[in-house]
A and B are shown apart, each in its own frame.
Chain A
Amino acid sequence: MAILEVKNLNIELGGVQVLENINFEVNRGDVLAIIGPNGAGKTTLLKAILGLIDYKGEIKWQQNIKIGYVPQRMDIETDVPLTVKEFFYLRGKQTTDAAIEDILKAVQLDEKILKSGFGEISTGQRQRILIAWAMMENPDALLFDEPTADIDIAGQESIYKMLYNLQKNFNLTIILVSHDLNIVYRYAEKVLCINRQALCIGTPEEILDTEHLTKLYGGEKGFYHHEHKH
């Protein structure tokens, strides 16, 4: 059964049509990757799914679904007076030390990090903390915007491995925006490619071939080498 149904989704931002007639479904336990060139409307789509912006059409979550969201990047000052532990306790009264310990294990971080400042930990560590934070309420679905932007290759790989484990262990549905086709190929079960419109949807094997990518990113040669023949 579909956990999320999107039908005839149209979004205008400041008079410009950003997304046009998007249709797709996500089933429970799916890992859906949304790919597309810069400015294709990926983040906008994610925000609409989260209910953050106005749209026309239908976005229907299954009833009583809990959604966790991991933001793309944040401009936090490195010296912001907020410890990682306090960050967890911001969630509310239901937060306990034991719950934090458990969730830190799931994202493979040491408890020592709780005493660190939220602004001084590395981007990779912060990303894990944000994932852990989103996992605190046992969500049914996790939404990510470029989960590994600004993280080095090795760090990206380990974050995806961790996500993969989380998804298996907690039967999570994951929707992520990514530009890293290599990662998408290995970890996603379903790929939605958009460039204002939905161009294709299917398994990575079906989508990530030259024909589809050319259509999505506008031609291999033109894209990589900027060769123009007149």
Chain B
Amino acid sequence: MNININLLQPLLVAVFVAGAASLLGVFAILKRMALVGDALSHVALPGIALALIFNFNLFLGAICFLIVATFGIWFLKYQSNLPIETIVGVFFAASLALGTLITPEQELLEALLGNITSLTWQESIISILSSLVLVIILLWIHKKLTINMISEEMASSIGINNKRLDFIYLMIFALAVALGIRFVGALLMGSLVIIPAASAKNITKSLYSFMGLSVVFGIVSSAFGIYISFIYNLSPGPIFILISSIFFVISLLIRRLR
């Protein structure tokens, strides 16, 4: 295999972003926030659209909108007794609609489905570093997150600040979405986070094998995804999702057989 530089750059970015997102997915599944990724990625779309229209960095556009949305979710969770899912559902679908309308038509497909090969070297390095930051933060708070998932009351009885923890978690989720959206696009971002972790959960019994295997699934799927899309000149995001879905089906079969 003749690895050329055009392949290496997106491959590296995809592996790092997918690895970080898959680790995040473990906690999204444990906290039963599987759909937050979907919702958040839709919010990023108007940000990307504005960045395209006014010609500034796409990552910056996405992250600004995501941070505002994340504050919104967090605020709703703690400050209002309205059913959060309804509000989130309506608000985020509206974002997707708005984003779709204002995104320039020739860029729409890329915004919705991602295109990692369009990243500059500078963006690639930022993506890789941000992925590393995400992994470090997750490893730093993973015990607290797990206790918080088991019981918020129990968590605060040992001095865990649940509100702050939730906030940190949502913020790194927003960061992951901003990173992944260039890879798999606004439509499929939620799956980048969830599918590898869902597959790993099917066949693991311990937390650390769950975390490890999820990252392995994410990395392997993304590497294959980039390679196959490169050979056949296809969009890498959907290929990644399909490959990780195949892993999911295999993991289901293994689970059944045991």
Partner-B contacts on A (CB < 8 A): 14, 47, 50-52, 67-71, 74, 76, 79-83, 86-87, 89-92, 117-118, 130, 133-134, 137, 143
Contacts and interface: CB of A to CB of B under 8 A. Distances in A.
Given A81-B205, A81-B207, A82-B206, A90 B153 contact: no
Give the 5 A-B residue pairs with the shortest CB-CB distance, closest first. Answer: A69-B157, A81-B210, A71-B151, A81-B204, A90-B143
B158 interface: yes
A69 B150 CA distance: 13
Contacts of B210: 81-82
Q: Is the interface of B mostly helix, strand, loop or mixed?
A: helix
B55 interface: no
Nearest to B203: A81
A128 B137 CA distance: 32
B28 to A, nearest CB: 14
Interface residues of B, number: 22
A44 to B, nearest CB: 12
Given A80-B30, A81-B201, A82-B146, A14 B81 contact: yes
B147 interface: yes
B154 A86 contact: no
Given A81-B204, A83-B205, A90 B154 contact: no
Nearest to A14: B81
Contacts of A87: 150
B153 A47 contact: yes
B153 A71 contact: yes
A76 B153 contact: no
13 contacts: A14-B81, A47-B153, A52-B153, A67-B157, A74-B150, A79-B201, A81-B206, A82-B207, A83-B205, A87-B150, A90-B143, A90-B146, A134-B157
Contact of A91 (B30, B158, B201): B158
A143 B147 CA distance: 17
Interface in B151-171: 151-154, 156-158
A79 B152 CA distance: 20
Given A81-B204, A86-B206, A50 B147 contact: no
A206 to B, nearest CB: 31
Contacts of B209: 81
Nearest to A73: B151
A92 B156 CA distance: 14
Contacts of A82: 146, 206-207, 210
B206 A74 contact: no
- A50, A82, A91 — most chain B CB neighbours (10 Å): A82
Contact of B153 (A69, A79, A83, A89): A69
B38 to A, nearest CB: 21
B157 A86 contact: no
A133 B158 CA distance: 11
